[in-house]
């Protein structure tokens, strides 16, 4: 039989005098698990007990598990947590804690609301015999806010001072990792905001350039339209003026030259008679024959003349050719 200060665990209980000689308490099991698993969250899944903004005055506590001094806590579904309204002037910081509460014999989430202040600080992280708070997130509730943004939530799950990871056999201080990650996050957010501001300025300048180009294009379009209207107006006016000039010339010709034209036409219209084309051709052929006869007479030096019976008829041979007499053009030829 060992000393009273000695204790081993676990053994089967035996009934002695109507009572069991081995009784084990929750503290026994908590000491058992705490011996090889440190307190903190399990991070098999990155969303284990993560706090997510919902775009209003609520946040979501994701499913997950943790160990608090050997006591196991599990959340199996999303929990929607409603935060109290913001102040109109001052900020505050609320904490989402997974709290082990001895008097309640229970572990559950608690909203540890901070005080309103121009420079708010979160509520203390309790680690006493009665309360053990493990903070998974701090939430900045800005003055006048009507919703919580994800950037207002500081993830504390890796911060060993208020939470940390559940590590088997050895406790790893994740505070430095948390600080590095937090610093990286802050720098990333700042860089992102700076980049967004630069892009906003660039896009604004680009739109201004486009607006100026469009204004210039509109001005050129309006000027071009005015020039076209002016051109067509002048073209129309010049056309009317030239048409009027040509019309006046025709009228003047009619008034001044029509009489002369009619006199000339009377002189030649007898040539055309009824069959104007046939009469003109006959006249032309007659003139051509006369010219041919004159040419031959000049070459031969002899004048040839038909033997006329009367003014309209002359003698012909059996073939119907006119009988000609010849005599010299001048007396030097015989």
Which residues, in sequence order, are bridge partners of residue 21? none
pLDDT tens for residues 267-320? 666 555 555 555 666 777 667 767 777 767 767 767 667 666 666 676 777 777
At residue 168, the pLDDT reads 77
Residue count of the chain? 334
- pTM of the shown model: 0.50
- For 47, half-sphere exposure in the C-beta direction (CA atoms, 13 angstrom radius) is 9
At residue 222, the pLDDT reads 81
Q: Which residues of the chain have pLDDT under 50?
A: 334
At residue 76, the pLDDT reads 92
Distances (CA, A) of 23 to 13, 33, 34, 35, 158: 7, 18, 20, 20, 37
Q: Which residues contact 298 (CB under 8 A, 6 or more apart)?
A: 329
pLDDT tens for residues 154-185? 999 989 899 988 887 555 566 666 677 777 77
- H helices present in the chain, as ranges: 26-34, 175-272, 276-300
Q: Which residues contact 111 (CB under 8 A, 6 or more apart)?
A: 81, 83, 94, 95, 96, 97
Please state, in angstroms and rounded to a whole number, the distance separating the CA atoms of residues 273 and 282.
Answer: 12
* Distance from chain centroid for Cα 236: 45
At residue 246, the pLDDT reads 72
Closest CA to 77 of 104, 125, 109, 116: 109
């Amino acid at each position: 039989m060992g000393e009273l200060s000695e204790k081993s665990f676990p053994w089967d209980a035996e009934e002695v005098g109507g009572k069991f000689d081995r009784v084990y308490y929750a503290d026994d099991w908590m000491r058992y698990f705490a011996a090889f698993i440190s307190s903190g969250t399990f991070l098999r899944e990155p969303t284990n007990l993560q706090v997510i903004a919902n775009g209003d005055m609520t946040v979501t506590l994701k499913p997950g598990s943790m160990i608090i001094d050997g006591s196991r806590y599990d959340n199996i579904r999303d929990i929607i947590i409603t935060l109290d309204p913001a102040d109109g002037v001052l900020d505050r910081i609320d904490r989402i804690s997974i709290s082990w509460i001895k008097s309640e014999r229970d572990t559950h989430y608690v909203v540890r609301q901070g005080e309103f202040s121009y420079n708010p600080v979160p509520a203390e992280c309790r680690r006493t015999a009665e309360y053990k708070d493990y903070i998974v997130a701090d939430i900045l509730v800005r003055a006048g806010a009507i919703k919580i943004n994800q950037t207002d939530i500081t993830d504390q799950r890796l911060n060993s001072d208020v939470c940390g990871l559940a590590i088997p056999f050895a406790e790893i201080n994740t505070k430095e990792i948390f600080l590095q990650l937090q610093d990286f996050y802050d720098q990333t957010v700042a860089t992102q905001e700076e980049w967004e501001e630069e892009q906003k300025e660039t896009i604004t300048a680009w739109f201004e350039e486009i607006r100026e180009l469009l204004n210039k294009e509109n001005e050129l379009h309006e000027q071009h339209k005015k020039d076209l209207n002016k051109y067509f107006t002048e073209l129309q006016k010049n056309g009317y003026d030239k048409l009027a000039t040509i019309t006046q010339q025709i009228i003047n010709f009619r008034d001044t030259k029509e009489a002369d034209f009619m006199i000339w036409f009377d002189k030649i219209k007898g040539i055309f008679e009824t069959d104007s084309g046939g009469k003109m051709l006959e006249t032309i052929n007659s003139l051509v024959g006369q010219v041919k006869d004159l040419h031959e007479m000049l070459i031969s030096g002899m004048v040839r003349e038909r033997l006329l019976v009367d003014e309209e008829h002359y003698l012909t041979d059996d073939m119907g050719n006119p009988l000609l007499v010849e005599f010299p053009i001048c007396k030097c030829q015989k």
